[in-house]
Structure 1
């Protein structure tokens, strides 16, 4: 349990550091300023940026809370799925696996930094928001796509695939079976939950866009 907590702590700290590095490299404040310049006055934008910097610590607190909720929910879904496979594992073991798998998604901002620094130096805030490396959205493009399709096409990416395969491998190893068996458990538990989440996001985007 102690090692699992340290993994969670390391994941939270790494997420915060990479997020801050990403903001510095892409000059997030400048992008936000340029994006709002057509809607607000310079004084209003400066006040907004000042307010954001004053309360940015809330973002630091939100990241570990978000990771805790996300990993706990996924571990719970996998734990429930184990009942259909007649396997009995401790919840903390599954949470440990999910935490290790979550490190895969830390590569996303790293890839984004590399892309915008070396391959697309001319970009705006919308490019940053809609770009997700190695995903289907980059193939079809977002400019001619309905906004409610953005999230599903972003979710269809190689990082998510690697995440699913890694979960399957670790669960197969933990249950003393094989990766194929572990992938089946992930396919019957995590994947339907992910699809439900994507559909939910699409529904809210469609209704509020």
Structure 2
């Protein structure tokens, strides 16, 4: 599948799944209930009217956010390619394999829908917000955990591991080496960037929570 169609499919499925997650899990109702405890009735009404008016914008932003993420990861991997790969790889090739690997993360909201729709039917907005299937956080739970530790516990999950392995496999394939070599490139570039990102999020959460 060509890059353009892969990106369109990824974007469409992300929007589609996000829409059904919001509808099936009654996210808007839970958000309204949460805000009634923090906002005055007049402020709440203004906020709800504004949100309803601009609700479509959140869906329009999804392809932009996905594109930014793909470009950043492709750029990071491209830098590492100069250091660890003797074969010259085009940015376009990296961009395409990252799109293909990104499909693994579509399973996260699907698992979330299944969990809260069929199993844990009595839930709060915080339960949905902090739940990350097959992660370290799903084992220890977010209640009682320091806020700055929640995100790193979410990042440690099987979907992220699968993402690394997929990237390693595809990179090993296009560099005509092997998966071990691909994993070396992924860990030295994407892995380092991810670690830095997690540290930044932890720092801001610790200082503003």
Tell me whether the two structures share a fold, i.e. TM-score over 0.5: yes
Write the deviation string for residues 116-165 of structure 1: whole angstroms up to 9, x where unpaired.
01110000111111101110011111111110111100000000000000
Using the size of structure 2 for normalisation, the TM-score is 0.96
In 2, the alpha carbon distance for the partners of 1:174 and 1:88 equals: 10
User: SS in structure 1 opposite 2:145?
Assistant: coil
| Match status 1:179 vs 2:179 | yes
What are the residue-to-residue correspondences of 1:46-125 with 2, within 5 Å? 46-85=45-84, 86-125=86-125
Look up the match of 1:191: 191
Look up the match of 2:169: 169
| Match status 1:130 vs 2:122 | no
Look up the match of 2:6: 7
Count of residues in correspondence between the two structures:
208
Write the deviation string for residues 52-102 of structure 1: whole angstroms up to 9, x where unpaired.
121012112211111111011101111111111133100000000000111
Q: What's the CA shift for 1:41?
A: 4.0
Moved more, 154-163 or 46-55: 46-55
Unaligned runs of 5+ in 1: none
Runs (4+) off by over 6 Å: none
Q: What's the CA shift for 1:50?
A: 2.2
In 2, the alpha carbon distance for the partners of 1:41 and 1:206 equals: 28
CA contact (8 A) 1:29 1:49 kept: no
In 1, the alpha carbon distance for the partners of 2:192 and 2:43 equals: 44
Look up the match of 2:158: 158
In 1, the alpha carbon distance for the partners of 2:55 and 2:29 equals: 16
Q: What's the CA shift for 1:13?
A: 1.2
User: SS in structure 1 opposite 2:133?
Assistant: coil
Using the size of structure 1 for normalisation, the TM-score is 0.96
In 1, the alpha carbon distance for the partners of 2:131 and 2:141 equals: 9
In 1, the alpha carbon distance for the partners of 2:43 and 2:189 equals: 47
Q: What's the CA shift for 1:43?
A: 4.7
RMSD: 1.3
Write the deviation string for residues 169-194 of structure 1: whole angstroms up to 9, x where unpaired.
00001111111111111111110110
CA contact (8 A) 1:131 1:138 kept: yes
Q: What's the CA shift for 1:42?
A: 4.4
CA contact (8 A) 1:168 1:179 kept: yes
Moved more, 34-43 or 192-201: 34-43
